Amino acid sequence: MLISRGKGDWMLYLPLLLIGVPMFVVEKMLHMEKGAEGLLVVAGLALTGLFGIGLAIHARRQQPRWVVEQRTGRELFVRPKHSLYFIGTEYWGALDLVLAGLLYRFALR
């Protein structure tokens, strides 16, 4: 079950797009050597991380809006949030960047 708010589900689909498509192209169409695949994984994770952080910055810069709660009649000042499994996209982005750095440091060297 996918639990997301806003555009948080992009943090689940984006690594598949940024890693899976280049891996398919390299393996099936370009017939490159096996060493290039690891670098594509690191680059895809890094791009996913940067996108997640950019999405969070974009959400914070959007204009907040006033919303009236239907049950209580209270007015709330709401700013859009993007999260996946109750974790904000900026934290998913940071996690992807750290994982890309660790993969590059320990797996590719």
Q: Which helix (H) or strand (E) holds 97?
A: helix 89-102
Q: Kindly state whether residue 1 falls inside one of the protein's structural domains.
A: no
How many other CB atoms sit within 10 Å of the CB of residue 92?
27
Tokens of 55: 């999405």
Total structural domains in the chain? 1
Mean pLDDT, the chain, integer? 83
Q: Kindly state whether residue 59 falls inside one of the protein's structural domains.
A: yes
Residues 5, 23: Cα–Cα separation, whole Å? 29
Q: Kindly state whether residue 34 falls inside one of the protein's structural domains.
A: yes
Q: Kindly state whether residue 54 falls inside one of the protein's structural domains.
A: yes
Give the domain extent around 21. Answer: 7-107
Note the pTM of the prediction, 2 decimals. 0.76
Residue with tokens 């660790």: 102
Q: Kindly state whether residue 2 falls inside one of the protein's structural domains.
A: no
Q: Kindly state whether residue 43 falls inside one of the protein's structural domains.
A: yes
- Summarize pLDDT for 40-68 with one digit per residue, the tens: 888 888 998 998 898 888 888 888 888 89
Q: Residue 12: helix, strand or coil by DSSP?
A: helix
